Structure 1
Amino acid sequence: MKIIITGGSGFVGRRVLSLLKNHDVINLTRNPLNHKDCKYELGNEINNLSIFDSPDVIIHCAARVHIMNDSSTNPLDDYREVNTKGTLNLAKQAVEAGVKRFIFISSIKVNGEATQSDKPFKFDDNRAPQDFYGQSKSEAEEQLLQLAEETGLEVVIIRPTLVYGPGVKANFASLLNLASKGLPLPFGCIKNNKRSLVSVDNLVDLIVTCIDHPKAVNQVFLVSDDNDVSTSEMVQQMAKALGKSQWQLPVPIACYRLVGKVVGKEDVIGRLLGSLQVDITHTKETLGWQPSQTIEEGFKQTADAFLQSKLKD
């Protein structure tokens, strides 16, 4: 099977590439990594995929990712240029090149930013993106499914929650670094929220499952480790994986909200205190799929990689 991957140099794409060694894989990226790569700019103009001699599947991981404190003068247009227009143009090229299946790595932000207690997002909920990144991904999904109806291209949409694993960056890495200090942390009262996470290995396992599964056609799949945790539980798991103290100070929730308001970081505090859960029943039942890695295993793998990187610094 000939498989094209976009974003193969990214966090998820690298792991996909490592698990597809037995396939004929072409990695399309902005920065060529080896002799099989081609120069690829994900935007309005793209290379003609027909030069790759009848590829079977495209796994589209590349994107303009969510950027905190984006300084762009027109961020929605910037997100759309890559995540919406670029995706649709790539899919149209796929149709012309005879590609059978297009796997689109979207985002849970298409569903929204937060969930109420015990009311997780489901695969068939109405799309409700609340930021430009989520909006651009949502528009791409809609246009891909329309293209599928018009052309017969088999579209598979996967919406990951927060993805973690060896080499993870951003907020997860910041919390991991805090937990590595072995000091008491102020998360003892954040016990009533619930967050769905997904290890990069579980996400990639689902992506690989969708390459040729007959029931994946034109479906939307939510994905997680199927083990939701509070912020307090998440930090405890991190500390345990790092072999550090798990003692947490019971700082009241109201203090967090006050600090967030004073320093202008209410959105950051909201994510720390809030819930974002997904129901992956549809994914499991449709594909006969289960997360292959437990959250404990995922955290341990991530912590081990973090500690190894510290030794190299």
Structure 2
Amino acid sequence: MLSGKRIFITGATGFIGSKLSGKLVEKNQVYALVRPESLVKTDDLRQQGIKIVTGDLLDVESYAAALDEMDYVFHLAALFKTEAPKLKLYRHNVFAVEKLLEVCRGKNIKKIIFFSTAYVAGRNEKEGITEDEPLPERFKNWYEWSKAEAEKRVLYFCKKYNLPVIIVRPVIVYGHGSFYGFYDAIRLIYKKKLWAVPGDGKNTIHLVHVDDVVNAAAYLAQSENTSGEVFHIADDYPVACDELIAMICSGLGIKPPRFKIPRAIVKIIGALPGSKYIFGGASKELLDYFLYSQSYSNGKLKSRGFVFKNPSAHQPLMRILKNFRL
């Protein structure tokens, strides 16, 4: 665990970022870059002793001076909307990263930890996808594409300017305090709006607890010989879609959907105007994560000595569902 360091973090008001900053501030000085419109979300951060830097990634003058004496940078800020348009995602998830890296070039940063997503694998349905797999040409949505483009920029800066960067790729993250992503799927099931299983239900979905994401990122930050490396953060056991839905229903105390809709039909329905209302408000981008099978190898991370606190999602997820509220 890092100790006695000065750490700069973006995305600290988000789900993972808030957990990470809370962990790091226990033994370090943590500075969080927060946009003016998000200052209302900083009470918890301030109470933990986290110092707020008001600014925007696209406005380098608002935070460049704050990086002068920083040891580590954790970059989590991103537009996390799978249905967002390409240009908007490019601006927030690619161009903003370039701006941050340019500023870091002129500083004495020991390591930059860039948060990507394992879903830069796109439609690759190979079992146990490793970090060595080349990035695909096609993606399920523009969000995945934007994170893949950002990875290219990160590795470019690492190779050309010897910038000490690590890329971490979490799978679908769950845990207390999440209000987007996986939470949206649970909400659909809880409100009984997911009346059928999209696809045959046999495709795998890979999860990881937020505590393991935070611990892995902090662990890699202090590890040797990690610059320019990419690491998947995923638990040991991908879960079949129908099993996961049944698990969620069991935890919520409701009956699971009785029907399954073939993937091809779901894709056709998803292309129709107003189609998301057929599945209780689920966008076609969200439905894609029920349709495509993806599992990832965590062998590289474990080979560095990292031990997962939650190697399986079953028990921690059931505890979360027991107290689930909309």
- Compute the TM-score of the two structures, normalised by the length of structure 1: 0.83
Matched, 1:279 2:297: yes
Per-residue CA deviation, residues 173-196 of structure 1 (Å, 9 max, x unaligned), is: 243235446899533984321111
Q: 1:304 to 1:41 in 2, by over 3 A?
A: farther
Alpha carbons 2:188, 2:194 under 8 Å: kept: no
Alpha carbons 1:166, 1:301 under 8 Å: kept: no
**Corresponding residue to 1:240 among 221, 237, 250:** 250
Write the distance in 1 (CA, Å) between the matches of 2:32 and 2:193.
43
How does 1:1-313 map onto structure 2 within 5 Å? 1-20=5-24, 21-30=26-35, 31-32=38-39, 33=42, 34=46, 36-43=51-58, 45-68=60-83, 70=84, 75-112=85-122, 114-116=123-125, 118-128=126-136, 130=139, 131-170=141-180, 172-180=182-190, 186-187=196-197, 190-242=200-252, 244-253=253-262, 256=266, 259-260=269-270, 264=275, 268-285=286-303, 287-293=304-310, 294-307=312-325, 310=326
| Paired residue total | 299
Per-residue CA deviation, residues 233-270 of structure 1 (Å, 9 max, x unaligned), is: 1112223333x145541435376566546664665544
SS of residue in 2 equivalent to 1:77: helix
Unaligned runs of 5+ in 1: none
Match of 2:279 in 1: none
Q: CA deviation at 1:85?
A: 2.0
Bigger shift: residues 22-31 or 254-263: 254-263
Q: CA deviation at 1:164?
A: 1.9
Write the distance in 2 (CA, Å) between the matches of 1:103 and 1:133.
19
Write the distance in 2 (CA, Å) between the matches of 1:77 and 1:184.
31
User: What letter matches 1:84 in structure 2?
Assistant: V
Q: CA deviation at 1:60?
A: 0.2
Q: 1:132 to 1:100 in 2, by over 3 A?
A: same
Q: CA deviation at 1:298?
A: 3.1
Q: CA deviation at 1:152?
A: 2.7
Per-residue CA deviation, residues 15-74 of structure 1 (Å, 9 max, x unaligned), is: 101211221111111133237101121225443434455211100000122342x3xxxx
User: What letter matches 1:119 in structure 2?
Assistant: E
Q: 1:221 to 1:17 in 2, by over 3 A?
A: same
Identity of aligned residues (%): 22
Write the distance in 2 (CA, Å) between the matches of 1:182 and 1:103.
39
Write the distance in 2 (CA, Å) between the matches of 1:61 and 1:217.
18
User: What letter matches 1:97 in structure 2?
Assistant: K
Q: 1:268 to 1:93 in 2, by over 3 A?
A: closer
User: What letter matches 1:49 in structure 2?
Assistant: A
